[in-house]
């Protein structure tokens, strides 16, 4: 069987990273402080939480979590991304999804320890872009950022 080698579209990955950075910049506070979070309500079914996990001079790690009001549905459908913002490049990269870590655009030669798609990084970046667009366009939130664990509603 002759399998064609997957070649990631770097232009698309960079474009998604730039769009996700721009969208997150609209949602994040002007001063990035570790340990604060904000809830953004979209409709009646979704609540997105942005938490600033770690800050450094050129990067910021943000945890993006999608929750549902129904605990049973939330347990089944909750999704969580760790996103690293590169301020000098103005790009956002997903560095972890659901605790998977080690996300790459391509998996050369070795089988991953868990089932994944070759274009997993692109798919996750697209999903994050859709979420952020939804939050920017339709999200409702309190004006202030609060310490992690407290709720802004």
Residue 77 included in any domain: yes
Assigned domain for 149 exists: no
**Has residue 83 been placed in a domain?**
yes
* pLDDT single digits (tens) 5-41: 778 788 999 999 999 999 999 999 888 889 999 989 9
Question: For residues 45 and 83, what is the distance between their CA atoms, to the nearest angstrom?
Answer: 23
Is residue 139 included in any domain, yes or no? no
Residue 86, Cβ neighbours under 10 Å: how many?
Answer: 14
pLDDT in tens, 74-114: 677 778 989 999 999 999 999 998 766 555 544 444 444 44
| Domain membership flag for residue 109 | no
Q: How many domains does the chain have?
A: 1
Rounded Cα distance between 81 and 88, Å, is 21
Q: Answer yes or no: pTM beyond 0.85.
A: no
3-class SS letters over 28-82: CCCCCCCCEEEEEEECCCEEEEEEEEEECCCEEEEEEEEECCCHHHHHHHCEEEE
Domain ranges, residue 126: 10-104+120-134
On whether residue 153 sits in a domain, the answer given is: no
């Amino acid at each position: 069987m002759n399998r064609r080698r997957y070649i990631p579209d770097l232009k698309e990955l960079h474009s998604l990273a730039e769009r996700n950075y721009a969208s997150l910049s609209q949602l994040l506070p002007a001063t990035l402080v570790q340990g604060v979070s904000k809830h953004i309500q979209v409709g009646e079914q979704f609540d997105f939480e942005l938490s600033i996990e770690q800050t450094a001079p050129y990067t910021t790690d943000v945890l993006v979590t999608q929750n549902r009001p129904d605990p049973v549905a939330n347990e089944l459908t909750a999704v969580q991304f760790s996103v690293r913002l590169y301020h000098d490049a103005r790009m956002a990269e997903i560095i972890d999804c659901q605790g998977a870590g080690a996300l790459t655009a391509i998996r050369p030669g070795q089988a991953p320890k868990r089932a994944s798609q070759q274009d997993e990084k692109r798919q996750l970046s697209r999903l994050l872009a859709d979420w952020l667009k939804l939050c920017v366009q339709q999200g409702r939130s309190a004006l202030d950022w609060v310490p992690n664990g407290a709720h802004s509603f």
